[in-house]
Structure 1
Amino acid sequence: MTGFLCGLLIELCYSSIIGLYAFIYMTIGYLNGYCHRIFVKENLTIPLILVGLSDLVYFFLYYVFEYLLRGKLNIGFYFIHKGLPELIYTVIVSVFLYKLLNIINDKTEKKEEEEGF
Structure 2
Amino acid sequence: MKRIIIVIVEIFLCFLLQTTIFQWFSLARVVPNLLLILTAAAGFTKGRKEGLLTGFLCGLLIDLCYGYTVGLYAFVYMTIGYLNGFCHRIFVKENMTIPLILVGISDLVYFFLYYVFEYLLRGKLNIGFYFVHKGLPELIYTVIVSVFLYKLLNIINEKTEKKEEEEVF
Range into which the TM-score falls when normalised by the shorter chain: 0.7 to 0.9
Structure 1 stretches of 5 or more lacking a match?
none
Alignment-derived partner of residue 99 in structure 1? 151
CA distance in structure 2 between the aligned counterparts of 1:95 and 1:31, rounded to whole angstroms: 20
Alignment-derived partner of residue 77 in structure 2? 25
CA distance in structure 2 between the aligned counterparts of 1:105 and 1:22, rounded to whole angstroms: 23
Alignment-derived partner of residue 37 in structure 1? 89
- Pair 1:88-2:88 in alignment: no
CA distance in structure 1 between the aligned counterparts of 2:143 and 2:149, rounded to whole angstroms: 10
CA distance in structure 2 between the aligned counterparts of 1:109 and 1:13, rounded to whole angstroms: 32
Percent identical pairs in the alignment equals: 90
C-alpha spacing 1:22/1:109, structure 2 compared with 1 (3 Å): closer
C-alpha spacing 1:4/1:100, structure 2 compared with 1 (3 Å): closer
What SS does structure 1 have at the residue aligned with 2:94?
coil
Q: Deviations over 1:69-105 (max 9, x none)?
A: 1110000000000000000000000012223334555
Alignment-derived partner of residue 56 in structure 1? 108
* Matched letter for residue 23 of structure 1: F
* Matched letter for residue 69 of structure 2: I
| Structure possessing the higher relative contact order (Cα contacts under 8 Å, 6 or more residues apart) | 2
Deviates more, 1:55-64 or 1:2-11: 2-11
Alignment-derived partner of residue 5 in structure 1? 57
Structure 2 stretches of 5 or more lacking a match?
1-52
- How many residue pairs end up in the alignment? 117
What SS does structure 2 have at the residue aligned with 1:36?
helix
Q: TM-score, normalised by structure 1?
A: 0.86
CA RMSD between the two structures: 2.3
- Decide which structure has the larger Cα Rg and report it: 1
C-alpha spacing 1:43/1:17, structure 2 compared with 1 (3 Å): same
* Matched letter for residue 79 of structure 1: F
* Matched letter for residue 101 of structure 2: I
